[in-house]
């Protein structure tokens, strides 16, 4: 089942995409149910996908410390789409819910076939990296 376009439109990474590009992107996502207590990502482990939460909530921990709770409309794993690097946090479902995922091996061919999507995504990622770097200072 493709991701709802309205859900993707809320993600800053995709806000620069037009409706046609959003539809193309949405069709690439796959839906995944999760259950309370399930680890969605594990800090220090490899990351291969990007996820947007449609319903439910999850706790984000770094080095065993609670950082925040995420829920509907929140997302994680955007850098993993590009570099497949290690996860920087553990995310554990607090409730049952649903999210939509996009793996790197789905994302790369999408960009190859639809180059118009690439530039807005790169701009959004650059903004995200700058925001993260400014928080470190």
Integer CA distances (angstroms), 91 to 9, 20, 35, 69, in order: 23, 32, 12, 9
pTM to 2 decimal places = 0.84
Domains of the chain: 5-130 (2.60.120.10)
- Please give the average pLDDT of every successive group of 10 residues along the chain, which has 137 residues: 88 87 92 96 86 96 94 86 80 97 86 84 80 72
């Amino acid at each position: 089942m493709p991701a709802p376009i309205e859900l993707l439109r809320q993600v800053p990474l995709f806000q620069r995409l037009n409706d046609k590009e959003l539809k193309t992107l949405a069709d690439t996502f796959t839906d995944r149910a999760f259950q309370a207590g399930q680890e969605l990502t594990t800090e220090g482990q490899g990351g291969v996908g990007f996820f947007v939460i449609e319903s439910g909530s999850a706790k984000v921990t770094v080095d065993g410390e609670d950082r925040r709770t995420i829920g509907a409309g929140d997302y994680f794993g955007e850098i993993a789409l590009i570099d497949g690097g290690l996860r920087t946090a553990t995310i554990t479902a607090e409730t049952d819910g649903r999210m939509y995922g996009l793996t790197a091996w789905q994302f790369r061919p999408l960009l190859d076939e639809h180059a118009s999507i690439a530039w807005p995504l790169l701009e959004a990622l650059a903004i995200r990296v700058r925001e993260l770097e400014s928080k470190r200072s």
